[in-house]
Each structure stands twice: as structure tokens, then as C-alpha cells.
Amino acid sequence: MRTQVAIIGGGPAGLLLSHILDRNGIDSVVLERHSRQHVLRRIRAGVLETGTVELLRAVGLGERMDREGHPHSGAAIAWQGRERFFIDTKKFTGKLMMAYGQTAITEDLYAARDARRGKIIDEASNVQLHDLTSTQAHVTYENKGQIHRIDCDYVAGCDGFHGVSRQSIPASLLRTFEKVYPFGWLSIMSVTPPYPDICYCYHERGFALASQRSPMLSRYYIQCDIDAKLEDWPDERFWQELKARCPKDMAEQIVTGPSIEKSIAPLRSFVAEPMRYGRLFLAGDAAHIVPPTGAKGLNLAVSDVFYLSRALTEKYHTGRTHYLDCYSDMALRRVWGATRLSWWLTMLLHRFPDDTQFDERARQSQFDYLTASEHARASLAEQYGGMPFEA
Ligand code: RFL
Ligand code: PHB
């Protein structure tokens, strides 16, 4: 088989890239390790920046999002013993954000690719990338016991943190930057009316977060020990702990019910540089991971895809390689901005096992500064709402 762009990974980054390339007359094949059912079962991000929302609309993926998503003007921080604080993206940037789940976006993307007879190969195992610095770049994979080969002009590595693409770059050429946090997030989904605001809670017992997917679907998170086990967290205990970390009026408003999903995710910051090796371009979690505190992971995957689709379109339509040549630098500038914000919010809103009284006071002072300074509030709102894409 031959294609113009071989895309490794059928998550949001890979599917969106394939969709946009197709709209621009560029052929691609998506190779996904898991079954479609498995990919669609994953519950992950839920908050979209304006830039993400506008891009999805611009490429014909806005209809269901605008019908079912919940536009909102930012998020609240409930700091123990203090007045509620609001990260007001609407006031400071004029922009609305959108609560719309990654699961729904992935469904929309599969539907859009199917409608255009897009080539997505599920359950492609042992994917390998070959000759990435030559004009004979190709990928091989196994499917139903047979080995297949796809020749291509470019390879897009959209295969997440544990994928094969980043590992195909010689270690001597790759620099990685990593921070692993000493706790995780325990999450549940429940068929209950959500708390009205997305609300981040800081409490001496640890962090908690109220979020939402739809008028009858709630998503809640609490900070947990790094070695926490799901079996130790029956629903009853989760709700009790969540409510203990929220202000009283908020706890009283939270509607509890049986969980339909429960999982634990570790928190990590990770960036790999550069995001290009010869004809291979990395996008999304394949190149970087942020802790979910800033709700940036999915939004970064989308901004990478915006830059990469523009670069490939320029190359195929005009022969110029300006955007391909600056893809890594441009994408990384945005990545580092979101990485820094996610790290900062994680430090601000969590209790660390080795916290001293100094750390606690410094955190309180940081929060005091936010409440006292219009400039500080504007800066946070601008970054939480998402920085614009570079021209
Ligand atoms: P994905 O979604 O991980 O998709 C990558 C796809 O590649 C496939 N794959 C391979 N395919 C072929 N060959 C291989 N060798 C392959 N290896 C992997 C995988 O099966 C998968 O389908 O990456 P992408 O597209 O870059 O999208 C990024 C987002 O998914 C991610 O940034 C966010 O979901 C991060 N994230 C969250 N972000 C938020 O903003 N808020 C959240 O609440 C939130 N929760 C999460 C998360 C990420 C999680 N992960 C990755 C463990 C919760 C979890 C559990
Ligand atoms: C979510 O809705 O899943 C969500 C919201 C805000 C975050 C992270 C996750 O910071």
C-alpha cells in the first residue's frame, strides 16, 4: 500500500489529522493498535479551549459539540476557608470554553472518517517505522497474522506516550524533560446532574475537582496516593472524601449516585525535543504529557495537529516547507507554555507528601496574590483559556 501520510495512532490527534488532511486533498492511513471499541471506551479529557472549539467548527466537527457541549466562561477555585475565586476567561479574554468530552470528540471523528471512507486500520500490532531520514520512508505492521507494508512521504507519530514513534528517534538526538508527581488522580463518572461550575478545590486533605460532561453526566476527581488501589475506593468512600474536600455549600449541592466508571491516573509532566526526526513528526501525547490540572492535554494535541496539518498542506499545495521546517519549534513553544501552567496549577492546588510549613505558606501567598491582583487574574485566565495559535 502507498499513502502520502502514514498516521500512527487513532486517538484524537491521529484521527483529527487524518480528517483535516482529507479535507485538504491529502491521503493518509491511520494505524491503531487497539480495537475501535477499546478506543471509544476510554474516558479522558473534558474541557476545550476556544482555539480547539473554533478549529473543530472550522473543519466541520462542530455540530454535535455545539448541540450537546456546555459553553462556560471559566472555572472556579474553592480554596479552603476562603471566598470562591473564578478564573474568568470570558471577562479577561472575551472567550468561552466548552465542556465536551474526549470520548464524544473521538466518536465524532470516527463518524467523520467513516463518512469519507477514511482508511483506519484497527488492531494493527507490531507497528515499526523504517528509513525515516530517506525518501523511502515506510511503516510495517501485523494484522490477523500477516505482515503489511505502507510506503509514504511522511509519518505522523500520534500514538500517545507509550507509542512506538518517539522511540523510533535515536536516543542521541532526543532530549527529554520529565517531572513525576508523588500522587495520582482517582476519577469517577456518574449519571447525576453535575455541580454547575467546573470547580478546583484546595484542601488540607488534598485536591478535588468537580467537572461535567452533560446535564446528566458528572465527572469528579480527587487526589490520591500514588499506590492507591481501586478496590479500596468503593463509591461511598469516594463521595465522602470528595465532599470533605469541598466547601460546605458545594458539598451540599453535589448529587451522588453509583459510578459508571472509576480509574486512577498517575500525574506526570514530560516533553521530548525535537518533535521531528527526518520524515517523522510527533503530535500530541507522543511528544508531551501534562498533569491534567490545567485541562491542557487534549488541547495541546489539537494545536499540534493544527500546526502539522498546516505544514503538510503547505508542502503538498505549494511545495514550500516553511511550516514543516519550523513545526517542532512552533509546537514546542505552545507545549512549554501549557506545560508550565499545568505544573504551576498542580503545585498550587495539591498537597505534597513532603510539604513543609514553608511550602504551605508560599502556596497561600500565591493564592492571595491571585485574589488581590487583577493582573494576576488576567494572566491566569489568558493561559487557562488557551494561548492563540501562532501565525
Ligand atoms: P492518545 O489519546 O493516547 O491516542 C494515542 C493512540 O495511539 C494508539 N497507539 C498505537 N497505535 C499503533 N501502534 C502503536 N505502537 C501504538 N501505541 C499507542 C493508542 O491505542 C491510542 O489510541 O493520544 P493523543 O491522540 O495525542 O491525545 C491526547 C489526549 O488523549 C490526552 O492528552 C488527554 O486525554 C490527557 N488526559 C487528560 N487531559 C485532560 O485535559 N483532562 C483529563 O481529564 C485527562 N485525563 C488523560 C486523562 C490521559 C490519560 N492517559 C493517557 C493515560 C486520563 C488518562 C488515563
Ligand atoms: C474533566 O472534565 O475531565 C477535566 C476538567 C478539568 C481538568 C481536568 C479534567 O483540569
- Domain CATH code at residue 109: 3.50.50.60
pTM: 0.97
- Minimum-distance ligand to the CA of 18? 1
Q: Does ligand 1 have an atom closer than 6 angstroms to the CB of 49?
A: no
- Asked whether residue 122 is assigned to any structural domain, the reply reads yes
Domain of 112 in residue numbering reads as: 5-70+99-178+268-352
Q: What is the mean pLDDT of the chain?
A: 97
- Minimum-distance ligand to the CA of 12? 1
Atom of ligand 2 nearest to the CA of 44: 3
User: What residues are labeled active site?
Assistant: 72, 200, 292, 296, 384
Instruction: Please count the structural domains in the chain.
Output: 1
Q: In 3-state terms, what secondary structure has residue 267? A: strand
CA 62 to chain CA mean position, Å: 18
Pocket test for ligand 1, best of 285, 307, 335 (most atoms within 8 A of CB): 285
- Residue 38, CB-side half-sphere exposure with 13 Å CA sphere: 8
And the C-alpha cell for 286? 507522543
Pocket test for ligand 1, best of 37, 159, 230, 282 (most atoms within 8 A of CB): 159
- Asked whether residue 378 is assigned to any structural domain, the reply reads no
3-state SS, 55-67, equals HHHHCCCCHHHHH
CA distance 37 to 357: 48
- Asked whether residue 87 is assigned to any structural domain, the reply reads no
- Asked whether residue 371 is assigned to any structural domain, the reply reads no
Q: Which residues contact 182 (CB under 8 A, 6 or more apart)?
A: 226, 352, 353, 354
Q: Give residue 21 CA to ligand 2 midpoint distance, Å.
A: 29
Of all protein residues, the one whose alpha carbon is nearest to atom 6 of ligand 2 is: 295
Q: Give residue 191 CA to ligand 1 midpoint distance, Å.
A: 24
pLDDT value at residue 134: 96
- Asked whether residue 380 is assigned to any structural domain, the reply reads no
Q: Are 284 and 11 in contact (CB under 8 A)?
A: yes
CA distance 64 to 106: 12
Residues of the chain predicted below pLDDT 70: none
CA distance 99 to 107: 16
CA dihedral angle for residue 85, residue 89, residue 93, residue 99, rounded to 10 degrees: 180
- Asked whether residue 21 is assigned to any structural domain, the reply reads yes
Over residues 294-334, the pLDDT tens digits come to 999 999 999 999 999 999 999 999 999 999 999 999 999 99
pLDDT value at residue 168: 98
- Asked whether residue 117 is assigned to any structural domain, the reply reads yes
Of all protein residues, the one whose alpha carbon is nearest to atom 35 of ligand 1 is: 297
Of all protein residues, the one whose alpha carbon is nearest to atom 8 of ligand 2 is: 295
- Asked whether residue 136 is assigned to any structural domain, the reply reads yes
CA distance 42 to 181: 23
Of all protein residues, the one whose alpha carbon is nearest to atom 48 of ligand 1 is: 44
Q: Which residues contact 241 (CB under 8 A, 6 or more apart)?
A: 205, 208, 222
Q: Does ligand 1 have an atom closer than 6 angstroms to the CB of 21?
A: no
pLDDT value at residue 103: 95
CA terminus-to-terminus distance, the chain: 35
And the C-alpha cell for 152? 509514504
pLDDT value at residue 33: 98
pLDDT value at residue 367: 96
Q: Give residue 342 CA to ligand 2 midpoint distance, Å.
A: 12
Q: Give residue 343 CA to ligand 2 midpoint distance, Å.
A: 15
Of all protein residues, the one whose alpha carbon is nearest to atom 4 of ligand 2 is: 46
pLDDT value at residue 199: 98
Q: Give residue 15 CA to ligand 2 midpoint distance, Å.
A: 21
CA distance 133 to 149: 17
CA distance 242 to 33: 35
